[in-house]
Amino acid sequence: MTSVTLKEVSKKFGSVQVCHNIDLDIKAGEFITLLGSSGCGKTTTLNMVAGLEDSTSGDILIGGRRVNDLSPVERDVAMVFQNYALYPHMTVAQNIGFTLKMRSVAPAIIREKVQKLAASLELDHLLERFPAQLSGGQQQRVAIGRALVREPRIFLFDEPFSNLDASLRVKMRTEVKQLHVQRNVTSIFVTHDQEEAMSISDRIAVMYRGRVEQFGTPEEIYARPATRYVASFIGSPQIELLDGLIEEANGATFVRAGQKALPVSIGPSSLKAGRAVEFGVRPEHVRLGVNGIEGRVRILQPIGPATHVTIDTAAGTFIASVPGFLRVKPGDAVNIEIQAANLHMFDKETGLRV
């Protein structure tokens, strides 16, 4: 198992800087995800680790060794791309074993390794087929097999499931996670899909405009987002963030939004009266009840296990996630209850968590 460390790594293309002083300490055997929207620098960061792009500044260490000047082959990394890049004129067996053949490994050893790996990927019955005869998921498994067969120190994934349909993406997530558990190879995964990142990662680096906004476990990222961007990017449905103003009364702290003042669990020493903030609460922490803030239903979105309800109130708009199907309709009056401990608050100017 091999660790990966990025120390103040930056990348410029001409005058445009796409990555800014990225610091990541990835433990040996860890599965981490670079998560963010298009253009945030996640693929560029992955390419710098792979050696496909040179960093403008900073150091990249693999296994404690600085690798900035080493080629991808010398770094001993394997990469799976968004497009499978399989050789159409080669069979599944030939595609998987190609990198070993290029390294002049004995044919008998190649056959043995390919057979063993194909069995673990459930491809052993497809070894004589060509890529055009395979489904999208099967082609992706061949691409993974080709990367795995030479037993690299680091495994890199660049949005490998983007071309698959929704149900197949879920299946491939499970297979990749299972492979990681079996082989315990340090892995870096790139995706824009926050549900994908949450489901397979040991830790997640949320990136925005070429910077790492937060690096932590899925639980930390979700329950205690470090910035306004992380809070709004993680979670489905998305958290609604509202403008508020801190008030104090009788030793208690409140955030005023519109015509309502909501209690918060942060004491006056942390929040001073008059401070402008943005605040929100995740949908599963908004409850429908007989007391609380009065509002009216704007939209209902039943999804089976739950119904997402958009509610307009005097404090602003909230989304409640209610188990099962809800027997209300747009325009109905409802009350919502919000616990102070579940409020997420961010400084209005800096966007940092309060």
C-alpha distance from residue 95 to each of 151, 255, 310 (Å): 16, 60, 50
Contact between 62 and 75 (Cβ < 8 Å): yes
- Whether residue 153 is contained in a domain is answered as yes
Structure-block tokens of residue 147: 């990367």
Domain that holds residue 301: 240-347
**Digit-coded pLDDT (tens) for 289-314:** 878 899 999 999 999 899 999 999 98
C-alpha distance from residue 248 to each of 54, 110, 256, 341, 347 (Å): 53, 72, 10, 17, 17
**Digit-coded pLDDT (tens) for 1-22:** 799 999 999 999 999 999 999 9
Contact between 214 and 232 (Cβ < 8 Å): no
User: Is the pTM higher than 0.85?
Assistant: yes
* pLDDT of residue 207 exceeding 90: yes
Which helix (H) or strand (E) is 114 found in, with range?
helix 107-120
Average pLDDT over residues 54-59: 97
Contact between 288 and 320 (Cβ < 8 Å): yes
* 298 contact partners, CB below 8 Å, separation of at least 6: 310, 311, 312, 317, 330
Residue 179 pLDDT = 81
* pLDDT of residue 265 exceeding 80: no
Structure-block tokens of residue 182: 């079996």
Average pLDDT over residues 277-295: 90
* pLDDT of residue 156 exceeding 60: yes
Same domain assignment for residues 201 and 264: no
- Whether residue 185 is contained in a domain is answered as yes
- Whether residue 352 is contained in a domain is answered as no
* d(C-alpha 321, C-alpha 311), whole Å: 11
What CATH number is given to the structural domain containing 46? 3.40.50.300
Average pLDDT over residues 271-278: 86
Confidence band, pLDDT 50/70/90 cuts, at residue 166 = confident
Structure-block tokens of residue 58: 């900073």
Same domain assignment for residues 174 and 77: yes
Quote the number of domains for the chain. Answer: 2
Is the bond preceding 302 in cis, omega lying within 30 degrees of 0? no
Contact between 277 and 255 (Cβ < 8 Å): yes
The values of phi and psi at residue 98, to 5°, are -60, -45
Same domain assignment for residues 95 and 16: yes
Same domain assignment for residues 70 and 141: yes
Same domain assignment for residues 325 and 293: yes
Q: Token match 């892995």: residue? A: 187
